[in-house]
Amino acid sequence: MRPVGRISFPGKASVPQLNIRHTKFRKHPMNQEQLIQEAVAARLKAYTPYSKFKVGAALLGKDGKVFHGCNVENASYGLCNCAERTAFFSAVASGYKPGDFSKIAVVGDTEDPIAPCGACRQVIIELGGPELEVILTNLKGDIKLTTAAKQLPDAFYLKPEA
């Protein structure tokens, strides 16, 4: 993965915890850097006692509402959940449906912009749709812009019925 841009935000030791969870942004649409900051804030909530590898995600609804997701580990490792799926499942639990989202940002402490796992790619394409904008980044500010369709080419995808 080759980064396509850089942003600046504080290093992992000084990342501020934002109090913007599940907030509607009525006056100004959220820009890419703001959504990445939301993902950075979500990452701080991760429960990773085993791997110590924290990941954060911020899912933006078309109405401006942001859903945080973080990875949550369990001693029975198959029961762990990734940040991307946590964000989507939180949105669905709040009444959102496939197609209600405009973009997702994902951040981790990785050398290059983080890459979602296969299970997350499947959830992203089904709940976000093939055209969903996906912003992948790391704590250094490297960014890769992509879409759900590009993340999972030839995906198994049944368009959800309304």
Catalytic residues: 84
Q: Residue 2 gets which letter from DSSP?
A: -
How far is Cα 27 from Cα 17, in angstroms, rounded to an integer? 22
Sign of the C-alpha dihedral, residues 99, 106, 22, 69? positive
Q: Give strand pairing partners of 137.
A: 107, 143
Q: Give strand pairing partners of 59.
A: 67, 104
Do 3 and 45 meet the contact criterion of CB atoms below 8 Å apart? no
Closest Cα to residue 21, out of 54, 55, 51, 56? 56
How many CA atoms are closer than 13 Å to the CA of 104, on its beta-carbon side? 37
How far is Cα 28 from Cα 48, in angstroms, rounded to an integer? 34
